[in-house]
C-alpha cells in the first residue's frame, strides 16, 4: 500500500500489550509487522487510531521503537475511552504516522530541556528513548515533569529508573501531594528556575496544556534561551490529519502537517487562541 493510501485508509494492527498507567490512561503497544504500510514514525509524530465503529483520535508516539507502535492514551471521551478498553489480541485501525516531530537533529550536540505536563510526557518520552539510545550524540538531558497528583504520574517504574541514572536529570513535581508523597509539590514551571542548563547551548521542548507551554517557554526565554531553540507541541483537535480538511487550522498553520511540533516563535501568538 502506498504512503498516500495509509494516510487516508486505516490499516488494522494487533494490540500486543496494554499497560494501565493511571485510572484514566493506558499504554498500548501495537505490533507493526515487517513491511507494514504504517511506518515506525519519529518522536513527536502521531497516528490516527481508530477503535472500529467508534471514531478516530490523534495519538502521539510515546516510544521510538522501530518494531512496535507505542501510544499512551488518556480517556477523555468516546474514542479515547474506547482505546482504553482495548485488550491484547484486539485490532485497531491505524493511519499515519503524521506531522512534524521534535527537532532531534537540531538537538545533536546540545543540552536538552524537556518540559512535560500531564499526558504531555507521552510524546516527550519518545525523545527520552531516542536520546538514551544514542546518548553520546547529545549534551545534558534535563526533564521537568509535572503531574496533577502522585497517582496520575505516567510510567512510574520508568521514572524511577531514570531518576537512578546519572546520564539524565529528571525532576518530578505534582500539583497536589498526598500522605505518601515525599517528592516535590508545585507547578512544573517551578522546576525550571534553577534547572542546571546552559541557556546558550540548550534546546527546549515542551508538551502539555497550552497555558503551561507558554509559561514554560517564557521562563526559558527569561533565562536567556534564544527563541529559535524553544519548541512546543500544539495538539488541537483534528480530523483528516493530512492537511486537507482544515479542521485543525489555526491562522495560517495546519496543526496536523505543519505541526504538531512548532518553534515557539512561530506559534506564540496562537497559543491560547480559541478553536474555530
Partner 1 sequence: MKSMAELIHAHPFLAGLPEPYIATVAGCARNVVFEAGSYIIREGHSATEFHLLRDGHVALELYSPRGGSKVLQTLGPGDILGASWLVPPYRWTSDGRALDRVHAFAFDAVCLRGKCEADPAMGYALMQRFLPVLMQRMSAARLQAMDMFGAQA
30 in Cβ contact with 14 (< 8 Å): yes
H/E segment holding residue 172:
strand 169-174
For position 81 contacting partner 1 by CB under 8 A, the verdict is no
CB of 193 to partner 1, least distance (A): 6
Residue 186 partner contact from ligand FAD, partner 1, none using kind-dependent CB cut-offs of 5 to 8 Å:
partner 1
Q: Which helix H or strand E contains 226, and what residues bound it?
A: none
DSSP conformational letter for 163: H
Contact 175, 153 (CB under 8 A): no
Cβ–Cβ < 8 Å for 102, 261: yes
Cβ proximity to partner 1: between 209 and 226 the closer is 209
| Span 124-153, contacts to partner 1 by CB under 8 A | 146-148, 152
Residue 193 interface partner, choices ligand FAD, partner 1, none, CB cut-off 5-8 Å depending on type: partner 1
Q: CA torsion sign, 191 to 197 to 199 to 202?
A: negative
Site residues, ligand FAD (CB under 6 A): 46, 55, 57-60, 72-74, 76-81, 119, 122-123, 235-238, 260
List CB contacts of 90: < 8 A, sequence separation 6 or more.
Answer: 14, 15
CA–CA dist 194, 5 (Å, integer): 48
Contact pattern from residue 40 through residue 69 relative to partner 1, giving x for each residue in contact according to CB under 8 A and a dash for the rest = ------------------------------
Which of 12, 33, 88, 186 forms a contact with partner 1 (CB under 8 A)?
Answer: 186
Residue nearest to ligand FAD (CB): 77
Min separation Cβ 21 and ligand FAD, Å = 10
* Pick 254 or 264: Cβ nearer partner 1: 264
Nearer to partner 1, 121 or 131 (CB): 121
Scanning 30-38, 92-100, 182-190, 243-251 for contacts with partner 1 by CB under 8 A, the matching segment is: 182-190
**Residues comprising the chain, all counted:** 276
Site for partner 1 (CB under 8 A): which residue of 129, 140, 184, 257?
184
Which three-class secondary structure state does DSSP give residue 58? strand
- SS3 state at 181: coil
Q: Which stretch binds partner 1 (CB under 8 A): 158-166, 179-187, 199-207, 241-249?
A: 179-187
Candidate residues 202, 215, 242, 256; the one interacting with partner 1 per rule CB under 8 A: 215
Interface with partner 1, residue 209, by CB under 8 A:
yes
Tell me the Cα Rg of the chain: 18
Question: What is the strand order of the sheet 11-22 is part of?
Answer: 57-60, 46-50, 91-98, 11-22, 25-31, 68-74
Q: Quote the least distance from Cβ 23 to partner 1, whole Å.
A: 10
Cell of 112: 536538552
**In terms of CB distance, is 49 or 172 closer to ligand FAD?**
49
CB of 48 to ligand FAD, least distance (A): 9
Distance CA 272, CA 120 (A): 16
The H or E element spanning position 142 is: strand 141-147
Name which of ligand FAD, partner 1, none residue 260 binds, using a CB cut-off of 5 to 8 Å depending on partner kind.
ligand FAD
Q: What is the CB neighbour count within 10 angstroms for residue 90? A: 14
Amino acid at each position: 500500500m502506498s504512503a498516500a493510501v495509509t494516510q487516508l485508509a486505516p490499516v488494522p494492527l494487533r494490540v500486543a500489550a496494554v499497560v494501565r498507567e493511571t485510572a484514566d490512561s493506558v499504554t498500548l503497544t501495537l505490533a507493526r509487522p515487517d513491511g507494514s504500510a504504517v511506518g515506525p514514525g519519529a518522536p513527536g509524530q502521531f497516528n490516527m487510531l481508530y477503535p472500529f465503529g467508534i471514531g478516530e483520535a490523534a495519538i502521539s508516539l510515546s516510544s521510538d521503537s522501530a518494531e512496535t507502535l507505542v501510544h499512551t492514551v488518556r480517556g477523555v471521551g468516546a474514542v479515547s475511552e474506547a482505546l482504553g478498553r482495548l485488550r491484547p489480541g484486539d485490532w485497531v485501525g491505524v493511519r499515519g504516522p503524521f506531522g512534524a516531530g521534535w527537532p532531534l537533529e537540531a538537538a545533536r550536540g546540545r543540552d536538552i530541556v524537556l518540559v512535560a505536563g500531564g499526558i504531555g510526557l507521552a510524546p516527550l518520552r519518545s525523545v527520552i528513548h531516542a536520546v538514551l539510545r544514542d546518548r553520546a550524540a547529545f549534551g545534558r538531558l534535563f526533564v521537568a515533569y509535572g503531574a496533577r497528583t502522585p497517582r496520575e504520574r505516567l510510567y512510574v517504574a520508568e521514572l524511577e529508573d531514570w531518576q537512578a541514572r546519572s546520564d539524565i536529570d529528571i525532576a518530578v513535581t505534582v500539583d497536589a501531594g498526598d500522605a505518601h508523597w515525599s517528592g516535590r509539590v508545585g507547578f512544573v514551571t517551578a522546576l525550571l528556575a534553577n534547572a542546571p542548563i546552559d541557556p546558550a547551548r540548550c534546546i527546549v521542548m515542551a508538551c502539555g496544556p497550552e497555558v503551561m507551554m507558554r509559561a514554560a517557554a517564557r521562563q526559558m526565554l527569561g533565562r536567556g534561551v534564544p527563541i529559535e531553540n524553544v519548541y512546543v507541541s500544539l495538539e488541537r483537535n483534528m480530523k483528516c490529519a493530512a492537511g486537507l480538511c482544515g479542521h485543525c487550522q489555526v491562522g495560517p498553520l495546519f496543526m496536523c502537517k505543519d505541526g504538531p511540533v512548532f518553534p515557539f516563535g512561530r506559534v506564540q501568538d496562537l497559543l491560547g487562541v480559541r478553536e474555530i
